[in-house]
Chains A and B, each alone.
Chain A
């Protein structure tokens, strides 16, 4: 069945360092979404990418969708302690399949 993997599983960074998480699907996706889940919270929608090669920015966050629409990445520039949480990608074909998530810890 359709699988969506994310790496790394965990990432610890010093505040101010950059962070990147990568998402890979076993099948071509029609679109991809990114969510953030704070510790003890529930996933919250960040963004959706639809077009091949699409790049979108939200302040310090940059999202990319691969040319083949099978992979995606989220890059955070100059992390802050408020960035702590688990970041999930979710790939859509006929249903929305969530990636395994990357847990980000930021040390002040």
Chain B
């Protein structure tokens, strides 16, 4: 089975721009969770989608949004980028969502200049 894929792998943006990241889960997995990883804050939970519905949300501002499509692929959007949004964005898929095992993708490294 193919693993979780994320595109793009690297991205450089400037402040004020917006960005869309994509995640394709493992075939058959219906849950996709997104995390932000920074050296100082560790892995911060953004949101979780299951069958196209957001089931859970972390403590991030409204500039961070996401969605899930009928094929379980998910996208995450960040609008009005700030320098502090520079991070590794990881998505993880699982069969039914936590506490099922989370299978992580390689991540998208976002740099905001």
Query: Do A and B share a complex?
Result: yes
Contact among A45, A98, A99 for B101, CB-based, below 8 A: A45
CA distance A35 to B42 in the complex (A): 13
- Which applies to chain B's interface (DSSP): helix, strand, loop or mixed? strand
Whether the pair A101, B42 counts as a contact (CB closer than 8 A) is yes
A94-B90 in contact given A43-B43, A101-B42 (Cβ < 8 Å): no
Task: Say yes or no for B22: interface residue by CB 8 A criterion.
Answer: no
Chain A residues near B (Cβ < 8 Å): 1, 30-31, 33, 35, 41-45, 48, 88, 90, 92, 94-101
Chain B interface bracket (under 10, 10 to 19, 20 to 34, 35 or more): 20 to 34
Which stretch of B12-20, B63-71, B102-110 is in the interface?
A: B102-110
Chain B residues near A (Cβ < 8 Å): 33, 35, 42-45, 48, 56, 58-59, 90, 92, 98-99, 101-107
* Chain B CB within 10 Å, residue with most, of A41, A96, A100: A96
Whether the pair A42, B99 counts as a contact (CB closer than 8 A) is no
Contact among A1, A48, A95, A100 for B42, CB-based, below 8 A: A100
Contact among A31, A44, A100 for B99, CB-based, below 8 A: A31
